[in-house]
Amino acid sequence: MAVSEESQHLLFHSHVAFRTASMPSEVCEVEERKRENIRSLSMCGHVGFESLPDQLVNRSIQQGFCFNILCVGETGIGKSTLINTLFNTNFEEHEASHFCPNVRLRAQTYELQESNVRLKLTIVNTVGFGDQINKEESYQPIVDYIDAQFEAYLQEELKIKRSLFNYHDSRIHVCLYFIAPTGHSLKTLDLLTMKNLDSKVNIIPVIAKADTISSELQKFKIKLMSELVCNGVQIYQFPTDDDTIAKINAAMNEQLPFAVVGSMDEVKVGNKMVKARQYPWGIVQVENENHCDFVKLREMLICTNMEDLQEQTHIRHYELYRRCKLEEMGFTDVGPENKPVSVQETYEAKRHELHGERQRKEEEMKQMFVQRVKEKEAILKEAERELQAKFEHLKRVHQEERLKLEERRRALEEEMIHFSKRKSSCDIFLNQSFMASGSNIKKDKDRKNPNFM
Amino acid sequence: MEPLRRPLSPCSSRPSSPRSPPCETSVSVGIEAVLDQLKIKAMKMGFEFNIMVVGQSGLGKSTMVNTLFKSKVWKSSLPGLATPTPQTLQLHSVTHVIEEKGVKLKLTVTDTPGFGDQINNDKCLRPLDIEFLQRLCRTVNVVPVIARADSLTIEEREAFRSRIQEDLRNHCIDVYPQKCFDEDINDRILNSKIRERIPFAVVGADREHLVNGRCVLGRKTKWGIVEVENMAHCEFPLLRDLLIRSHLQDLKDITHNVHYENYRVVRLNESHLLPRGPGWVNLAPASTQQLTTPAPLKVRRRVQEDPKDEF
């Protein structure tokens, strides 16, 4: 949990870095003290602060511990089984299919308790690793996941009101990389993945299903290690700077990668039930050091170096991420002319810059808006003018038509007048003739009238 | 526990809610060993502790510190004694490393000569003291102490203590151990007992005398020897136990998780204002040779989560 974080903050001070291989830590300390003008005092009685480590331990017990393991390996290589065996618990995991289109990560958190120590254990498994035909991007989801945890932590750290002391640390403390027991060499996928992970997480490579190779094991281990070294992959080295554990850690470093066998099945051997895998030709005992390196792995991972793994994650991998991220954001410790720059100054400068940027953008948008309005106005005006022109045109046409019609009406009226004149003069003439002729003409007239009218 | 967060992206998910209640591992896995790992690391790294003593000069602050840590933290006669009291406030720090049974402790003691002389709280706490205590309690863990308790009888001591406790209560001065940080019932019981006895009446002494065949630390007077570590005589053992044997880690935790975080919030929010807001006391800078801790109100160049700048 936040234990290592706590310890960091309370204990990690102006001492030189832990792993200066050249100087023993004692000499560093004394020099440090001299520099700081600190005297060593001798006391003439019992003060009682030897209880300090216990006070610290009690505090940690109260808070609980937190440990996050990432297991990377092909489907079916035995990741879940190994974890179950390591922690002697059957964590519920169902078998994954081989048909995932891309690599995913699945995380589960469990609470374990051993006497008075509470451990919040998070297991992250890769699902579908190595199953695709195109494995170029297989490592990317893993890298993204690790970065995401760092990012979450960084965000919490940068908050104004933060609560780091009860933050559930989800950063991966160790990556168990499962190598298939082919007996030949590292697969390209493995090499590529480890190369991309070694600067982000502590990698402990293990040879999975080690009961399938026995005599060629040593050669295989040597081959693997030399390949890793040749390609510059930085795997986790068990620390050798503390005298109490230096020897055993150094010995274990020689035995990497650990060849492990996992099993939760119990088989009777002698008069005890032990975890083992039963074959027709024999029984592979998990906790037998002659059979496999499981016990070594458990020793190193949990009993001896859990704390160191957490510490390295925090002070090396996380710090690297943090540094890169902050530099990306534009923060530096040293400004131009090599003068130290405080975060505050950088922040102010950035704020100013962003403020100016925003103003500029506002101006731009305003201009654009004005421009658009003008354009629209112009278009509308143009349309208006067109309409007006059309209207005028139509009016003119209409006017012309009207004039024409007037003309024709007048012409028609004239014709009518002319006709009625002729009609009346005809009538007068006919009346005169009738008076002179008598009734014969009247019959002709009657006969003619219907024709005439 | 803080609720776990939502997943960040479809492929990568943060841990889901914890499953069943904690599983007991039947066979020892070795998780317990992490405690030893912690201890080893702690022993290697050493511990730090920073104390500031405030009070009238002549009350025996230096002697008290010497008695607490059983060593000559302060030289008993300060070189500047002949000079007049400085008009402005000064901070004066010394750092030592002491070791006990393999545990190294880097101890920094800061003195404030010049301030205490304006305090005269023989009878009760005056407004200046109240104000001062109120502000201090918001920034740091304060443990009030009745000095020179050998000039008070037991009855006078109890009366004085009640008066002080009442004053503290009336003015809402939250001294250490603060009630609000009691985590569980055990803490509360333990701390209540301590709170009843605060302020401790202490006597400091750095000389040893022979009493009943035993060699004890004490002050020799004409009417008897005041034994420092005798609970019947004074409450020094309580103070020592509180500060060193039981609550040292807690003091540091509260400073780190509460006081520093509060400061950080204020500081980050005010980042656009002048570094010194109204009401901040203007302390004259101490000489660089003596000062190992930065003067608390100097403008920090780095607002980083760097623990070494905290104290």
DSSP bridge partners of A70: A124, A175
C-alpha to C-alpha distance for A329 and A326, rounded to whole angstroms: 5
CB atoms within 10 A of CB B121: 18
Q: Is B266 on the interface with A (CB under 8 A)?
A: no
pLDDT tier, A151 (very low <50, low <70, confident <90, very high otherwise): very high
In the three-class reduction of DSSP (H, G, I as helix; E, B as strand; rest coil), residue A157 is classed as helix
Mean pLDDT score, A373-383: 96
pLDDT tier, A338 (very low <50, low <70, confident <90, very high otherwise): low
C-alpha to C-alpha distance for B267 and B168, rounded to whole angstroms: 28
Mean pLDDT score, A64-69: 92
Interface test with B, best of A6, A13, A91 (most B CBs within 10 A): A13
Residues A109, B252: C-beta atoms closer than 8 Å: no
pLDDT at residue B270 tops 80? no
Task: Read off φ and ψ for residue A137, nearest 5 degrees.
Answer: -100, 15
- Please tell me the distance in Å from A224's CA to the nearest CA on chain B: 29
What pLDDT score does B129 carry? 80
Joined tokens for residue B242: 């509180």
Q: Are A69 and A173 in contact (CB under 8 A)?
A: yes
What pLDDT score does A410 carry? 96
Q: Locate tokens 């004085």: which residue?
A: B160
- Angle in degrees, 0-180, between the axes of helices A52-63 and A3-11, rounded to the nearest 10: 150
pLDDT tier, B99 (very low <50, low <70, confident <90, very high otherwise): confident
Task: Provide ipTM, 2 decimals.
Answer: 0.71
Mean pLDDT score, B208-218: 84
A203 burial (CB, 10 Å; 0-12 / 13-18 / 19+) is: buried
Strands (E), A146-198: 174-179
CB atoms within 10 A of CB B12: 20
Q: Is B169 on the interface with A (CB under 8 A)?
A: no
Q: Are B125 and B55 in contact (CB under 8 A)?
A: no
C-alpha to C-alpha distance for A196 and B297, rounded to whole angstroms: 45
- Please tell me the distance in Å from B236's CA to the nearest CA on chain A: 12
Q: Which of residues 16-45 of B touch A (CB under 8 A)?
A: 16-19, 21-35, 37-45
* Of the listed ranges A60-64, A71-75, A176-180, A441-445, the one predicted with least confidence: A441-445
Model confidence pLDDT, tens digit, residues B161-184 = 999 999 888 988 888 888 888 878
Among the partner residues A14, A39, A111, nearest to B96 by beta-carbon distance: A39
Cite the DSSP H helix spans in chain B.
33-45, 61-69, 127-139, 154-170, 185-197, 236-240, 248-254, 260-269
Q: Which of residues 61-90 of B touch A (CB under 8 A)?
A: 68-73
C-alpha to C-alpha distance for A163 and A156, rounded to whole angstroms: 8
What pLDDT score does A440 carry? 60
- Nearest CA among A197, A303, A201, A307 for reference residue A252: A303
Q: Kindly list the strands in the beta sheet with B92-100, ordered across the sheet, starting from the edge strand earlier in the chain.
A: A39-41, B92-100, B103-111, B47-53
pLDDT at residue B288 tops 80? no
Residues A40, B240: C-beta atoms closer than 8 Å: no
CA distances from A451 to A69, A168, A430, A440, A447 (A): 126, 122, 15, 17, 7
Pick the residue with more confidence: A401 or B225? Answer: A401
Residues A51, B26: C-beta atoms closer than 8 Å: no
C-alpha to C-alpha distance for B311 and B309, rounded to whole angstroms: 6
pLDDT at residue A360 tops 60? yes
Q: Are A295 and A284 in contact (CB under 8 A)?
A: no
Angle at B52 between CA B51 and CA B53, to 5 degrees: 120
What pLDDT score does B280 carry? 37
What pLDDT score does A147 carry? 95
pLDDT tier, A371 (very low <50, low <70, confident <90, very high otherwise): very high
Q: Locate tokens 């039963």: which residue?
A: A278
C-alpha to C-alpha distance for B302 and B307, rounded to whole angstroms: 11
Q: Are A157 and A151 in contact (CB under 8 A)?
A: no
Q: Are A238 and A354 in contact (CB under 8 A)?
A: no
C-alpha to C-alpha distance for B202 and B192, rounded to whole angstroms: 19
Q: Is B261 on the interface with A (CB under 8 A)?
A: yes
pLDDT at residue A220 tops 80? yes
Mean pLDDT over all residues of chain B? 73
C-alpha to C-alpha distance for A379 and A373, rounded to whole angstroms: 10
Contacts within 8 Å (CB) and 24+ apart, A327-334: A333/B302
C-alpha to C-alpha distance for B88 and B65, rounded to whole angstroms: 24
- Please tell me the distance in Å from A318's CA to the nearest CA on chain B: 14
- Nearest CA among A238, A235, A200 for reference residue A221: A235
Q: Which residues of B touch A294 (CB under 8 A)?
A: none
Joined tokens for residue A331: 């923060």
Q: Are B35 and A59 in contact (CB under 8 A)?
A: no
Joined tokens for residue A61: 């017990």
What pLDDT score does A348 carry? 75
B190: left (phi over 0), alpha (psi -120 to 50) or beta: alpha
What pLDDT score does B211 carry? 83
Pick the residue with more confidence: A286 or A452? Answer: A286
The number of C-beta contacts closer than 8 angstroms across A and B is 271
Residues B103, A52: C-beta atoms closer than 8 Å: yes
pLDDT at residue B299 tops 50? no
Residues A11, B47: C-beta atoms closer than 8 Å: yes
Q: Which chain A residue is nearest to residue B1, measuring alpha carbons?
A: A166
Give the DSSP H/E element, type plus range, for residue A126: strand A117-127
* Of the listed ranges A21-30, A277-286, A417-426, B97-106, the one predicted with least confidence: A21-30
Residues A111, B23: C-beta atoms closer than 8 Å: yes
Residue type, A413: E
Q: Which residues of B touch A347 (CB under 8 A)?
A: 271
